[in-house]
Structure 1
Amino acid sequence: MRILTYFIDRGNGDYEPFYEYHRSDVGEDEFYARQLCTYFIMKGLQYQLTSNEMKGEEEILVLEEMGSNHRLSDEQDYHGKGLHVEFRSSLPEENYRLLHVRPCESHFEVIRYLLKDVVDIPFVGQVYTTSTEIDEDRGVYVVYVKEIEAD
């Protein structure tokens, strides 16, 4: 695994190379963290992961453009401030409310949260993960969650 390439699916079998990362620049742990994100934000646009593939030493992520990414009033920029994971409500009626911010020492720590179906958030408790995102514009990973419903 030497390179991670994002492609945008333009339809009709047309895949446009979008962005690439080299292992020497970002590390293997970041490669894995990126592959666990169901959404990708870059330059004000939101993309959804539709396929995660490998071809020799290349990791390939295929994205579908979803349109403009709407900024939230409580969003922060984390560039230059280290790795962070935000935990947000997945409910639009709550305006994707920020529940907690977790600073992380490494992408391996980030991966721990991205892998989980249920996460434990301080002062909130256990919640279901509904989706995950890397927001390049803000330099942060985001885990969207909802309450665990009682049976």
Structure 2
Amino acid sequence: MIDLVYLREGKTLKLTYYIQRGDNYEGFLTYSVPENLNEDEVYARQLCEYFVVKGKEYKLLSNEMAGKEEVLVVEEKGDARRFSDEKNYKGQGVHIEFREYRESGDMRLIRAMPLATHWEVIRYLLKDVIDIPEIGQFLRDSTEIDEDRGVYVIYLGKMVL
């Protein structure tokens, strides 16, 4: 849990993304609790290996702490891949999509689910094997937060059950 005493003292917890470009690091985005994010979203974001914002995809290189600041170092991978069945969830609460991972082409949507909180998302982000209700268990390939669409995405590998 975030240090609530720290927050009660009027100090703000920050989550900052930095882009690594060679040996240089550029501040990219900063979010503050509680102004921009809730504490559960701060932790959920740190568990995502990929980040999509403004049409670009970023890969997480390092997850760090500096005092009360949470720091995510990313590298730009290029334009974000888009899929034929994508939906925009912005303003509709917390959502998670499960997609079949493929090196190229469309990544089929297996299931989309609304969740009550980012804490619920964290349960899925932490797992190596994910149980999708009424479908079965799958190996997790990678995780992403797509800020453009307002959704967490878990890319799945082989079905295990």
Q: What residue number does 2:31 align with?
A: 21
Q: Which runs of 5+ in 1 are unaligned?
A: none
Map 1:79-90; keep pairs closer than 5 Å. Answer: 79-90=90-101
Q: Which runs of 5+ in 2 are unaligned?
A: 3-12
**TM, length-normalised to structure 1:** 0.94
Aligned with 1:58 (options 41, 45, 69): 69
After the TM superposition, which parts of structure 1 deviate over 4 Å for at least 4 consecutive aligned residues? none
Are the equivalent residues in 2 in contact too, given 1:9–1:64 (CA < 8 A)? Answer: yes
Aligned with 1:125 (options 136, 150, 153): 136
Are the equivalent residues in 1 in contact too, given 2:41–2:118 (CA < 8 A)? Answer: yes
CA–CA separation in structure 1 for the residues paired with 2:104 and 2:76: 23
Note the C-alpha offset of 1:70: 2.2
Q: 1:44-77 CA deviation, whole Å, 9 max, x = no partner?
A: 1000000000000000000010001121110000
The alpha-carbon distance between structure 1 residues 38 and 69, as it changes in their structure 2 partners (threshold 3 A), is: same
Whether 2:115 is the aligned partner of 1:107: answer no
Are the equivalent residues in 2 in contact too, given 1:5–1:58 (CA < 8 A)? Answer: yes
Tell me how large the CA RMSD over aligned residues is. 1.5
| Aligned residue-pair number | 149
CA–CA separation in structure 2 for the residues paired with 1:70 and 1:129: 19
Are the equivalent residues in 2 in contact too, given 1:129–1:144 (CA < 8 A)? Answer: yes
Note the C-alpha offset of 1:149: 5.9
